[in-house]
Amino acid sequence: MTAQGPRFLLPALLLLVSGCSDDHPLVIATPWDRASCLAIEQALRSQDTPFPSRIRWLRTSPGADPSRIASAGLGVDLLLGWPPQTLDALDRLGLLAPLDAGADSDADSGPHRVLLPPRGPSNALPLVPALADDPRIDPIARCRVLAVLDRGDWDDGYAALIDLAGRPPAGPFLADPSPAPPPCPEAAALVKGSTHPLASSFLAFASRWSGDPSPMASPTPADATDLAGEILAAELIGAIAIDAGAELRDARSAADRSPDAPSSAWALALLDEPPPWPPASILELRDDPDRLPLMETLAEALVRDDDARSWLRSSWERPARPLDRASLRELAAVAGGRLLAEPLFLPWLRAEWTAWARQRARAIALGLDAQRPGPPDREEPR
- What is residue 329's predicted lDDT score, i.e. its pLDDT? 92
Label residue 374 by pLDDT band (50, 70, 90). Answer: low
Could you tell me which residues are beta bridge partners of residue 189?
79
Residues 329-372 have pLDDT tens digits of 999 999 988 998 899 999 999 999 999 999 999 999 998 887 76
Burial environment of residue 279 by CB neighbours within 10 A (0 to 12, 13 to 18, 19 or more): buried
Other CB atoms within 10 Å distance of the CB of residue 256? 13
Asked whether 125 and 83 are in contact (CB, 8 A), the reply is no
Which carries the bigger pLDDT value, residue 120 or residue 278? 278
Q: If you average pLDDT over residues 237-252, what whole number do you get? A: 93
Q: If you average pLDDT over residues 31-52, what whole number do you get? A: 88
Comparing C-alpha atoms, which of 283, 290, 316 is closest to residue 302?
316
Q: If you average pLDDT over residues 151-174, what whole number do you get? A: 76
Which carries the bigger pLDDT value, residue 362 or residue 163? 362
**Domain boundaries defined on the chain:** 24-124+183-206, 224-371
pLDDT over 80 at 9, yes or no: no
What's the whole-model pTM score?
A: 0.64
Asked whether 272 and 158 are in contact (CB, 8 A), the reply is yes
Superfamily for domain range 24-124+183-206: Periplasmic binding protein-like II (3.40.190.10)
pLDDT over 90 at 76, yes or no: yes
- What is residue 4's predicted lDDT score, i.e. its pLDDT? 43
Q: How many residues are listed for the chain in this entry?
A: 382
Q: If you average pLDDT over residues 63-91, what whole number do you get? A: 83
Residues 83-109 have pLDDT tens digits of 887 787 788 788 999 876 434 444 334
- What is residue 98's predicted lDDT score, i.e. its pLDDT? 86
pLDDT over 50 at 324, yes or no: yes
Nearest-angstrom CA–CA distance, 334 and 309 = 9
Q: If you average pLDDT over residues 280-287, what whole number do you get? A: 95
3-state secondary structure the chain: CCCCHHHHHHHHHHHHHHCCCCCCCEEEEECCCHHHHHHHHHHHHCCCCCCCCCEEEEECCCCCCHHHHHCCCCCCCEEEEECHHHHHHHHHCCCECCCCHHHCCCHHHCCCCEEECCCCHHHECCCCCCCCCCCCCCHHHHHHHHHHHHCCCHHHHHHHHHHHHCCCCCCCCCCCCCCCCCECCEEEEEECCCCCCCHHHHHHHHCCCCCCCCCCCCCCCCCHHHHHHHHHHHHHHHHHHHHCHHHHHHHHHHHHHCCCHHHHHHHHHHHCCCCEECCHHHHHHHCCHHHHHHHHHHHHHHCCCHHHHHHHHHHCCCCCEECCHHHHHHHHHHHHHHHHHCCCHHHHHHHHHHHHHHHHHHHHHHHHHHHCCCCCCCCCCC
Q: How does the average pLDDT of the chain come out, rounded?
A: 79
- What is residue 11's predicted lDDT score, i.e. its pLDDT? 37
Lowest-confidence segment of 17-31, 73-87, 268-282, 341-355 by average pLDDT = 17-31
Percent of the chain, pLDDT > 70? Answer: 74
Residues 116-158 have pLDDT tens digits of 876 654 444 444 444 446 888 776 677 778 888 887 899 999 9
Range among 59-68, 204-213, 305-314 with highest mean pLDDT value = 305-314
Q: If you average pLDDT over residues 162-178, what whole number do you get? A: 59
Q: How many CA atoms lie within 13 A of 371 on its CB side?
A: 17
